[in-house]
Amino acid sequence: MKKEFTAVSIPTSLYKEIEEAVQGTNDGSVANYVARVLRESLKKGGEPEEVFSAEDEEKVKDRLKALGYID
């Protein structure tokens, strides 16, 4: 499933601050950092992000069935 993205404006100074902070970290980019922090902030009331496609999920079910974990 292809993800869609949109732009959000933040102050340039804040962008630069984040850019510096994410260097050499697991986030890797300002976009990743912002998305993660927003997800963390929203997750109490929100649904987890679907990172796998419906096709992947079918494959998972098939494997679990083949291994005898589910009927």
Partner 1 sequence: MIQPHGGKLIDRVLKGAALEEAKKRAGTLPSVRLDAEQTSDVENIATGVFSPLEGFLGEKDFRSVLDKMRLANGLAWTIPVVLAVDKKTADALVPGKDAALLNVAGEPAAILHLAEKYGFDRKETARKVFGTEDAAHPGVAKIMNMPEVLLGGTIDLIRETPTPYQKYKLSPLETRKLFQDKGWNTVVGFQTRNTPHIGHEYVQKSALTLVDGLFINPVIGKKKKGDYRDEVILESYEELIKNYYVPERTTMAILMMEMRYAGPREAIFHAIIRKNFGCSHIIIGRDHAGVGSYYAPFAAQEIFADFPDLEITPLFFRSFFYCKKCGSVVSDKICPHGKEHQIQFRGTEIRDLLLRGEYPPAELVRPEVAKIIMDEKNPFND
24: left (phi over 0), alpha (psi -120 to 50) or beta: left
Residues 33-62 that bind partner 1 (CB under 8 A): 33, 36, 39-40, 43, 48-49, 51-52, 56-57, 60-61
Nearest to 1 by CA among 71, 54, 46, 70: 54
CA 3 to chain centre: 10
Q: What's the closest the beta carbon of residue 42 comes to partner 1, in angstroms? A: 9
For binding to partner 1 (CB under 8 A), which residues are involved? 21-28, 33, 36, 39-40, 43, 48-49, 51-52, 56-57, 60-61, 63-64, 67, 69-70
